[in-house]
C-alpha cells in the first residue's frame, strides 16, 4: 500500500506550524521512550501506517514492534515501543492513535462477524461506505479481520443497483445495456445486479449475462428461498439489515457472501493510548505490561 500522501495530509491537519505545547515544555534534544498500551480486546491493525507517521515526523525515531499487525490483542498488551526525540514522539502521537484506533476497530468488528459465520461457506464483505481518502486503509483493516473486499471503487466491477434499474426501466434493460457496453468497449468486468424482490430476481436469472445476484434487504426466510431458486447458477450475496445478532442466520441459508457497510462506517474504535515510559522503568523494559 502507498499511504505516504494520506499520512502527509493527516500530519499537516494536526501539526500546522508546530506542536507548540511540546516545544514549550520539552527541552530541545531530550530523548525518551513511549509504548502503545492496549485498553480493549480486539484485532490490531495499522502498524505500517503508524511506522510511516513516525518516519515522516522524524526519521530518527526507533520503533520496536512486539506484536504483529492482525494479531488479537488484549488489555495491557504493548504492541510496540518508540524511542527517540520526545518532541517528535508527541508530535506524532495523536495521528498514530487516530489511524490505529479506527483501523483496529474495523478489523475487530470484521473479526466478530467472521467468527459468527464460522463453519459456513459464507464470506464477509465490506462495501464502498468508507471514509473519503481512507478506503485503501479501511479495506486493509477488513482483510486483517478475516473479511474480504468487495469492489474497490466504481472502476473495477459493474454493479447494477436499484437506481440503475429504475433509470433503465427494469432489470432486463439494465443487464442488456451492460452486456452491450462491455462488448462495445472491450471491458471484461465482473457483473453483479441488485434485486429487491422475487420478481426482479427471476428477471435477473432469466436474462443471464451476470456473475452475482445481490439480495437487498431480504429477510432470512426470503434469502433461503432465493438461494434455492438461484440453485448455484450465479453467486449470491445478501445485504441490508444484517447485524452481529442475525448474521449467522443469514449465513446458514447457503448464501455465498454477506456485505456489510457497518464494518467501515458504524464501528467503535479500539481503545488504546501512547504512554511515556519513565526512567525508572527503562532498565526493566522486558517486564513492562503486555510485552511478550
Confidence at 290, pLDDT banded by 50, 70, 90: very low
What pLDDT is attached to residue 278?
Answer: 82
pLDDT at 90 exceeding the cut of 60: yes
Q: Which of 129, 135, 151, 196 is catalytic?
A: 129
Q: Which is catalytic among the residues 14, 31, 94, 271?
A: 94
Quick check: 291 pLDDT over 50?
A: no
Judge whether residue 285 has pLDDT over 70: no
Q: Of 126, 194, 200, 237, which one is the catalytic site residue?
A: 194
Rounded mean pLDDT, 145-163: 97
Tell me the pLDDT tens digit for each residue of 230-272: 999 999 999 999 999 999 999 999 999 999 999 998 889 999 9
Sheet harboring 235-239: ordered strands across?
A: 123-125, 257-259, 235-239, 212-216, 191-195, 158-160
Percentage of residues of the chain with pLDDT beyond 70: 95
Write down all domains in the chain, each with its CATH number in brackets.
4-106+268-287 (3.90.1170.20), 113-265 (3.20.20.70)
Establish whether 129 is a catalytic residue. Answer: yes
**Pairwise CA distance, residues 50 & 193, whole Å:** 38
Q: Is 169 left (phi over 0), alpha (psi -120 to 50) or beta?
A: left
Q: What is the per-residue pLDDT for 279?
A: 62
Q: What is the pLDDT of residues 223-233, one digit of tens each?
A: 999 999 999 99
CA distance 66 to 82: 11
**196, 162 Cβ separation under 8 angstroms:** yes
- Candidate list 161, 187, 233, 268, residue with the active-site label: 161
In the predicted structure, residue 10 carries a pLDDT above the cut 50: yes
With 70 as the cut, is the pLDDT of residue 5 above it? yes
Active site residue 216: yes
Residue-wise pLDDT tens digits, 167-218: 999 999 999 999 999 999 999 999 999 999 999 999 999 999 999 999 999 9
The pLDDT value recorded for residue 283 is 52
| Residue 110 confidence (pLDDT) above 50 | yes
**How far is the C-alpha of 149 from the C-alpha of 1, rounded, in Å?**
15
Greatest pairwise CA separation for the chain in angstroms:
74
| 94 among known catalytic residues | yes
Known catalytic residue at 161: yes
Can 271 be counted among the known catalytic residues? Answer: no
pTM of the model: 0.91
Out of 138, 216, 237, 256, which one is annotated catalytic? 216
Instruction: Enter the C-alpha cell of residue 172.
Output: 432486463
Amino acid at each position: 500500500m502507498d499511504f505516504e500522501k494520506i499520512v502527509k495530509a493527516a500530519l499537516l491537519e494536526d501539526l500546522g506550524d508546530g506542536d507548540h505545547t511540546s516545544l514549550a515544555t520539552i527541552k530541545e534534544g531530550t530523548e525518551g521512550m513511549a509504548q502503545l498500551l492496549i485498553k480493549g480486546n480486539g484485532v490490531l491493525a495499522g502498524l505500517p501506517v503508524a511506522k510511516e507517521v513516525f518516519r515522516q515526523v522524524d526519521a530518527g525515531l526507533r520503533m520496536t514492534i512486539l506484536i504483529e499487525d492482525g494479531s488479537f490483542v488484549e488489555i495491557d498488551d504493548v504492541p510496540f515501543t518508540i524511542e527517540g526525540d520526545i518532541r517528535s514522539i508527541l508530535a506524532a502521537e495523536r495521528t498514530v492513535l487516530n489511524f490505529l484506533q479506527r483501523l483496529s476497530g474495523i478489523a475487530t468488528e470484521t473479526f466478530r462477524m467472521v467468527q459468527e459465520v464460522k463453519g459456513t461457506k459464507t464470506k464477509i464483505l465490506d462495501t464502498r461506505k468508507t471514509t473519503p481518502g481512507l478506503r485503501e486503509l479501511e479495506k486493509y483493516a477488513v482483510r486483517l479481520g478475516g473479511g474480504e473486499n468487495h469492489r474497490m471503487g466504481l472502476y473495477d466491477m459493474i454493479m447494477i443497483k436499484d437506481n440503475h434499474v429504475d433509470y433503465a426501466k427494469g432489470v432486463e434493460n439494465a443487464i442488456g445495456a451492460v452486456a452491450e457496453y462491455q462488448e462495445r468497449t472491450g471491458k471484461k468486468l465482473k457483473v453483479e445486479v441488485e434485486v429487491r424482490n422475487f420478481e426482479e430476481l427471476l428477471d435477473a436469472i432469466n436474462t443471464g449475462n451476470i456473475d452475482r445476484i445481490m439480495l437487498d434487504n431480504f429477510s432470512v426466510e426470503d434469502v433461503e428461498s432465493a438461494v434455492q431458486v438461484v440453485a448455484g447458477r450465479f453467486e449470491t450475496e445478501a445485504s441490508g439489515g444484517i447485524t452481529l445478532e442475525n448474521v449467522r442466520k443469514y449465513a446458514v441459508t447457503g448464501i455465498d457472501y454477506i456485505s456489510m457497510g457497518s464494518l467501515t462506517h458504524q464501528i467503535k474504535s479500539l481503545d488504546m493510548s501512547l504512554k511515556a515510559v519513565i526512567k525508572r522503568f527503562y532498565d526493566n523494559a522486558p517486564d513492562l505490561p503486555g510485552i511478550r
